[in-house]
Each structure stands twice: as structure tokens, then as C-alpha cells.
Structure 1
Amino acid sequence: MNIKSLLLGSAAALAAVSGAQAADAIVAAEPEPMEYVRVCDAFGTGYFYIPGTETCLKIGGYVRFQTNFGRDRSGTSDWDTFTRGQLQFDAKNDTELGTLESTIVLQTNADSSVNGGSTFLDTASIAIAGFKFGYYYSWWDDGIAGETDALATNTIFNSISYTYDGGAFKAGISVDE
């Protein structure tokens, strides 16, 4: 009787454990949907929110390829090529003083005369409430993409400027290094 009750008890325990395992099936939790990129239309097209912040970011740029035909100044070549790539980051955020804007522009030029090309910081600036601080083009060369005025390369400075924008009328003052 001892062995008989031991066998019955073991069978009952085994059945209870097996039933418990079957009832407690593993259910995989559904992953919560994540929003990787949210569009930010507060500052125009092309902006998106940086995850976890209220800052809007726009990444842009261009690639330019140019070929010149004919003898160069040294008289050694019938043609020459030039390539430029520009990468621009614009970040904007609303504050009590207005929109806080930050801009960084990196530029790379590749020419046959420069082995491997040259990469440099073209613009780095912060602007808020009409004030702008940083390294950027002066008003003598502002707004003509890819070109420079008669002042050549003397138009990009470390500067502090203020611009009053009255809609159809703009006025400003700048101190350039």
C-alpha cells in the first residue's frame, strides 16, 4: 500500500505540474510602437524633431561638379574639373525670446591641384531675437549661393550682428572681426 500510494501521489503531482505548465504558456509581449522620426512643420519643410527633444533639425546640402575646357593659365591642360560637396545642419527651437536658430555648414572642395581636396567649416552661427553670433558671411556676400563678390574670400568673419525685420523693410548693423 505504501508503494501504491507513492506511485499514485507521484502521478498526481506529475499531472499537476504538466497541467500548470500548459496553462502558463509563454506569451510574447507586443513591442510598443516607436516614433523614430516625427515631422516638424513649425519652421517649414524638411525639418524633423530630434528624438526626446522639441528641437527641429533640417539636414541638407548639395554636390557641384564643374568642368572647364581650354588652356589653363599655365598652358598645360585642355580641361580641368572641380567638385564641391556641402553639408548643412539647421536646428531651430522656440523660446520666450523667439526662435533660437543654430547653423553649421561643412564644405569639401576637390580639385586636381589639391591632392585629396580640402574640408573646412563654412558657417557656424547662433541667432535669436534678431541677434546673430558666430562665423558666417557678411552682408557683402549674403544670399548669392556658390558665388562671391569682388571682395573675394574676405567676406566670411567671426561676427556679431543685429537685424531689424519690419516685413518689407530690413535694417541691420554688424561688427566683423
Structure 2
Amino acid sequence: MNIKSLLLGSAAALIAVSGAEPAEYVKICDVYGAGYFYIPGTETCLRIGGYVRYDIGVGDVGSFDGAKSFDHEDGESQSTYFKNARFALKTWTGQETELGTLKTYTETRFNFGNRQAYGGSTTDDGDVVGPNNAFNKGVSLNFAWIQLGGLRVGKDESAFNTFIGYAGNVINDTLVPYGDFDTNVVQYYFDAGNGFSAVVSLEEGSGTKGTIDSYVPHVVGGVKWTQGWGGISGVVAYDSNYEEVAGKVRLDVNVNDQISLFIIGGYGSDDNLSDPTWAIPAGGRGFYKQWGGNWAVWGGGTYKFNEKTSFNTQISYDEDENLGIAANIAYDVVPGFTVTAEVDYVNAGSFPASNWTNADDDSNIGGMLRFQRSF
């Protein structure tokens, strides 16, 4: 018997012992887009993604009170960077059923960095500062919902914002706020397939003022019509805690392949929100109507210089004379890796009574440099 015969006989024996079970390989699922694969042994398609982000902020940025600390040598107040590193993990699943597409989406965020004006000490100038600790800020569950057909339940962001879209492609898009985000929802989406869609959302809210205080949920309803030139959309929200109503209307226009523009107008009632005799006074701002006064506007757009570089801007203003201006340039260094440099300005109207951003003064400016690898 030669060596070749011996090797072939050994291989045959091993196959016989193992039962010759075939290996099960991961199969690509292209029904729901790129990146999905079948979970072995199931008809469920799974996609795993996310991003790693690093922010460097200077001046008045973020909450617009600036990052401050005590000097280690003499204890004097001084400014420093606002920094934050984030890892966001996302998952998507999809499966076809007799009742429609069954989908899930989750997003969990992990953050490390320093806070704005961290601590509880006060300087001679009245600045609240502290040791400026950089630390693990904890884990936040930002999305965790199930959707069957048009019915969605779970943790989401409010349809008051998601249905008509956020206020531009800038980092700090809430210099004049346009509604709160985190909430549990029970909602139904309707898509007619011709550009018309609608939503009804029952929401729990979040926070001291925003979380519902009875079995009566907050209610959001919206309609949208989109075409190649752009779209028109609107949402109305009922705040069950303060029994007030807020609404927004949005117009999007695609001027050409390089330029896209938007404008949003918001209006909300606030008699109860402004009533200081309520058990939990809202200070004029609820879960949905978060801008100052009854009305507010947001406008801006995007100009694409080329496939890699875009200029984004947003200008916002409300009845209490709060003015926000944000502008950035986003550059795709390579596919999946984007660097964004942004400048932000806030003029706080009715300072400080109506100031949303905790700004130190009536006129404030800051900057942010963001590095993000998405996958």
C-alpha cells in the first residue's frame, strides 16, 4: 500500500465517522437591501451595523454653556474642550409573513467624554464648574421596535419629528428645538404607494414633564406627499399632560442634483404650559412645543460640491426671539468615513428667561469637529 492509498483511506474513514454532514454557510439576503444575510436555519434576514464617532467641541457648543473646569494649580475657572467618543450598535431584521413584512430595529449607544460645565461649584463670576471629569456616561437604548406591516410598537423617536424629518443635516439642529425625541410608541403607518403616506402614533413621552401622567397617551397624527421635486408634510400633536396642541408643516424642494432646500413652520398653544400654578410647571415648553412662544421657523438646505463634499446649513427662529445659525462642511474621506466641521451661533432672545440652550450670554458661538466611521 502506498502513501496515496493510505491518505485516501483515512479521509474516507473520517467522513464515515462524522456522518458526512454538509457545512452550513451564511447566505446573502438581498430582499431588504445591502448587508443582510439569512440567520442560519431560519427565514429571517439580519443586518448588523453602526458607527464609531469622535467629537471635539470648542467655545459654546452642545448645550451652549461651554465646557469649563477648575485649573489644577490655582483653582481658577477656565474653558476646555467638550469631547465625546461614541460607539453605536445597530441591528435590523426582516422576514416575510402572511400578514406582511415583520421587521425590527435596535440602536444602542455607548459614550465616553466630559460634560458641559460638569460639577456643582460656582466661581466669582457665577460660572458653575467642576473637575471636568471624562468618564463612561452609561448606555442608552435609543431604538428597539417591532413592526408588522404598518403597525409599529416599542422604543422609537416621536413621530412629531421622524415623520416629517429632522431640521437639516447639521450637527446641532436643535438650537431652536422642534420637539422631544425619546418615547415608547404604538403607531400605524399607511403608505398609498403613490407618494401619499400617513401616521397615527400613541406615545408615552419621557422626562419629568413629558411622560404621561395617566392612561391617556400623547397623540400624534401626520400626512405626507412626496414627489421627485420634493414634498409637503405636516404633523399635529396633542400633549395629554398639559392639554395643549402643537403642529408643524414642512416643505422640501429639490432644486437640482446639487441643491436641496427645506422650511418648517411650527405653532403651538401654551396657556397651560405657561401656567406657573400647575403642579409641575412647564415653563412654556412641553414635550412637543419646545420652542419659545407660540411659533417658530426652521429653514436651510444642502449643497453638494461633488460626490464627497457637501455644505449644510440651518437657520432657526422663534417668537421669543431665539436665533440659531448652524453651518458645516462634510467630507467623505473614503466610503464610510466622514469628517464634519461645523460652526454654531445662538442669540438668546429674552435672555435668560426664554433661553433653551443654557447659554452663558445673549450672544454665543461654538464649533465642532466630528469624525465618524459608519459600517
State the secondary structure of the residue aligned to 2:160.
helix
Determine if contact 1:100/1:127 at 8 Å carries over to the other structure: yes
Q: 1:36 to 1:135 in 2, by over 3 A?
A: same
**1:174 maps to 2:194:** no
State the secondary structure of the residue aligned to 1:45.
coil
Determine if contact 2:67/2:81 at 8 Å carries over to the other structure: no
Correspondence for 1:133: 153
Percent identical among aligned pairs is 34
Q: What is the deviation of 1:172?
A: 1.0
1:62 to 46, 51, 61: 51
The runs of 5 or more residues in structure 1 that have no matched partner are 1-21
State the secondary structure of the residue aligned to 2:32.
coil
**1:124 maps to 2:127:** no
Q: What number of residue pairs does the alignment pair up?
A: 153
Correspondence for 1:96: 98
Q: What is the deviation of 1:35?
A: 3.2
State the secondary structure of the residue aligned to 2:43.
coil
Query: What are the within-5 Å matches in structure 2 for residues 82-93 of structure 1?
Result: 82-93=84-95
Correspondence for 1:78: 80
Cα deviation 1:10-37 (Å, max 9, x = unaligned): xxxxxxxxxxxx9xx5533185442331
Determine if contact 2:88/2:107 at 8 Å carries over to the other structure: yes
Q: 2:172, 2:201 → 1: CA distance? A: 21
Correspondence for 1:39: 28
TM-score, normalised to structure 1's length? 0.75
TM-score, normalised to structure 2's length? 0.37
Higher relative contact order (CA 8 A, sep 6+): 2
Q: What is the deviation of 1:103?
A: 1.3
Correspondence for 2:338: none
Q: What is the deviation of 1:83?
A: 1.4
2:188 to 134, 139, 162: 162
Shifted more, 138-147 versus 48-57: the winner is: 138-147
**1:107 maps to 2:134:** no
Determine if contact 2:155/2:185 at 8 Å carries over to the other structure: yes
Specify the structure having the higher radius of gyration (Cα). 1
Determine if contact 2:88/2:110 at 8 Å carries over to the other structure: yes
Q: 1:57 to 1:137 in 2, by over 3 A?
A: same
Q: 1:57 to 1:98 in 2, by over 3 A?
A: same
Q: What is the deviation of 1:73?
A: 5.2
User: Superposition RMSD on alpha carbons, in Å?
Assistant: 2.5
Cα deviation 1:63-122 (Å, max 9, x = unaligned): 111111247354523322111211011111110111000111111121123522221111
Query: What are the within-5 Å matches in structure 2 for residues 9-24 of structure 1?
Result: none
Q: 2:147, 2:48 → 1: CA distance? A: 18
Cα deviation 1:19-66 (Å, max 9, x = unaligned): xxx9xx553318544233110011111100001101000001011111
Determine if contact 1:126/1:132 at 8 Å carries over to the other structure: yes
Determine if contact 1:141/1:148 at 8 Å carries over to the other structure: no
Correspondence for 2:211: none
Correspondence for 1:51: 40
